[in-house]
Structure 1
Amino acid sequence: MASELEKEDEKRKEFLTNISHDLRTPLISILGYLNMIKEEKYEDEKELESYIDKINNKSLFLKSMLDDFFQYSKLSSRDIQFNKEYIYSRINKAAS
């Protein structure tokens, strides 16, 4: 049993490491583009708009990942109770 607990702990640590990396990557990119805008390191308005579009897209992607992670956290929580009920269908009628 201790071995199983250790394996689960390792899986949890690996999962959190992967999540941290996946969240950090777009955030670093967003911060980089924001810094370039702040320091006016763009040649023209078209390039500035390109940076803003990239920031927007990466922000939406980051939000999506955070939403997914939050949903996963809720689903893996033991606080959720399911109401199970039998659903009667034609398949069940045919089997009878």
Structure 2
Amino acid sequence: ILWEEISSETNPFDADNKLIFAGGPLQGHPVPGSAKFSIISKSPLTNTYADSAAGARWGPLFKRAGYDVLVIQGKSENPVYIYIEDDEVKISAIITF
């Protein structure tokens, strides 16, 4: 997805860069290791592909909500959070830290 969505000229800090959250094909199933998901973007350190894997409840809950991939693009002037529950997706301001 990253290679299809951004050009090689995209600066990692540009609003055109993507932050991608993606689960594996067994995400949400009772299989050992299937709770892992990846976070992918263009790295400001290397100016190339970078990814990280994590395992937690987030991956299976994301899949049960009906999603396989979340692609975030753009830049907010203020801190925000993304709330996803089933078909409802909201972007809301973070008021305090």
TM-score of the two chains, using structure 2 as the length reference = 0.22
TM-score of the two chains, using structure 1 as the length reference = 0.22
Structure with higher Rg: it is 1
Give the structure with the higher percent helix.
1
